[in-house]
Amino acid sequence: MPDSNAPLVAVIMGSKSDWETMRHTDLVLTQFGVPHESKIMSAHRTPALTAEYVAEAEARGIEVIIAAAGGAAHLAGVAAAHTVLPVLGVPMESQALKGMDSLLSTVQMPAGIPVGTLAIGKPGATNAALLAVAILANHRPDLRKKLRDFREEQARKVEQETLP
Ligand code: RP5
């Protein structure tokens, strides 16, 4: 019998310093009850570990990989090179260039190996989780319902907002 707690989403990030942003991915996945795991690995500092982890992800039941990195951000691209699972990239807001470097490094993949790139920083971290939920929801009606409820609740909050 399949293990219902086995992770469906792998969240990987280049450094512990990315966690302050990527905890928002973790938060949303937890909110939707999506089993996931978060790990630190780097395309530059731990290239062999990254390749091995990503190559084995599909066999472990992972369906989506979310990869976050900053600066010369190659983690998402390298991950995508080692798997046919969908890879969502989250560019971290770097100090020197405010994440512009991370964004371009992640989004500008040559044709053939796609990375679905989200916005820089917290909005991207949040949306990566929501997009992962949407992908999983294609074949999980319970998750699709949760996603619809989330959207409705979000709309309700905006509709109830007032200005001074
Ligand atoms: C990248 O370098 C990480 O993803 C992080 O965003 C950035 C800086 O890493 P640290 O120097 O804070 O470890 O690999």
For residue 4, pLDDT beyond 80:
no
Q: Ligand 1 pocket: which of 11, 18, 25, 120 to mutate (most atoms <8 Å of CB)?
A: 18
Average pLDDT over residues 111-126: 98
Please list, in sequence order, all residues whose beta carbon lies within 8 angstroms of the beta carbon of residue 59, skipping any fewer than 6 positions away: none
Cβ 22 under 6 angstroms from ligand 1: no
Output the residue whose Cα is nearest ligand 1's atom 3.
14
Cβ 120 under 6 angstroms from ligand 1: no
What pLDDT score was predicted for residue 6?
96
Cβ 69 under 6 angstroms from ligand 1: yes
What pLDDT score was predicted for residue 3?
78
% of the chain beyond a pLDDT of 90: 97
* Ligand 1 center–CA 1 separation, angstroms: 39
Starting from the edge strand earliest in sequence, which strands make up the sheet with 64-69, in order?
36-40, 9-13, 64-69, 87-91, 116-117
What pLDDT score was predicted for residue 83?
98
What pLDDT score was predicted for residue 5?
87
Atom number in ligand 1 closest to CA 42: 14
Output the residue whose Cα is nearest ligand 1's atom 9.
15
What pLDDT score was predicted for residue 1?
55
- State the chain's mean pLDDT as an integer: 97
pLDDT in tens, 22-80: 999 999 999 999 999 999 999 999 999 999 999 999 999 999 999 999 999 999 999 99
79 token code pair: 């991950």
Atom number in ligand 1 closest to CA 17: 12
pLDDT in tens, 121-164: 999 999 999 999 999 999 999 999 999 999 999 999 999 999 99
Question: Could you give the C-alpha distances from 139 to 45, 64, 88, 142, in angstroms and in order?
Answer: 36, 13, 19, 9
